[in-house]
Amino acid sequence: MSKQQKCIDGENVESTLDKLRIIANYQFGKGVGEKLFPENIEVQHSPRTGRIRFINLNNERLATLRPTDGLLSLSIKAGKFMAENTPFAKCFVTIQNDVSKFIAKGGDVFAVHVVKVDEEIRVKDEVIVKDELGNVLAVGHAVLSSSEITAFKTGVAVKVRHGVKKS
Q: Do 142 and 117 contact (CB within 8 A), yes or no?
A: no
- Residue 13's pLDDT is 52
Query: Of 76, 62, 94, nearest to 162 (Cα)?
Result: 76
Looking at residue 113, which CATH number applies to its domain?
2.30.130.10
- Residue 7's pLDDT is 44
Task: Enter the pTM of the model.
Answer: 0.86
Kindly state whether residues 150 and 124 are assigned to the same domain: yes
Question: Is residue 36 assigned to a domain?
Answer: yes
* Domain end (from 76, 104, 131): 76
Query: Of 77, 93, 73, 97, nearest to 85 (Cα)?
Result: 77
Kindly state whether residues 97 and 159 are assigned to the same domain: yes
Count how many domains the chain has: 2
Kindly state whether residues 138 and 94 are assigned to the same domain: yes
- Residue 14's pLDDT is 64
- Residue 58's pLDDT is 92
- Residue 3's pLDDT is 38
Question: Is residue 3 assigned to a domain?
Answer: no
Strand 72-74: give its sheet, edge to edge: 42-45, 52-57, 60-65, 72-74
Beta strands in the chain (DSSP E): 42-45, 52-57, 60-65, 72-74, 92-95, 109-110, 114-117, 126-130, 136-142, 156-163
pLDDT in tens, the chain (167 residues): 333 334 434 445 568 999 999 999 999 999 999 999 999 999 999 899 889 999 999 999 999 999 999 999 999 999 999 999 988 899 999 999 999 999 999 999 999 999 999 999 999 999 999 999 999 999 999 999 999 999 999 999 999 999 998 64
Kindly state whether residues 69 and 97 are assigned to the same domain: no
Q: Do 103 and 87 contact (CB within 8 A), yes or no?
A: no
Kindly state whether residues 61 and 96 are assigned to the same domain: no
Question: Is residue 56 assigned to a domain?
Answer: yes
Question: Is residue 83 assigned to a domain?
Answer: no
Segments forming the whole domain that contains residue 99: 90-163
Kindly state whether residues 118 and 67 are assigned to the same domain: no
- Residue 6's pLDDT is 40
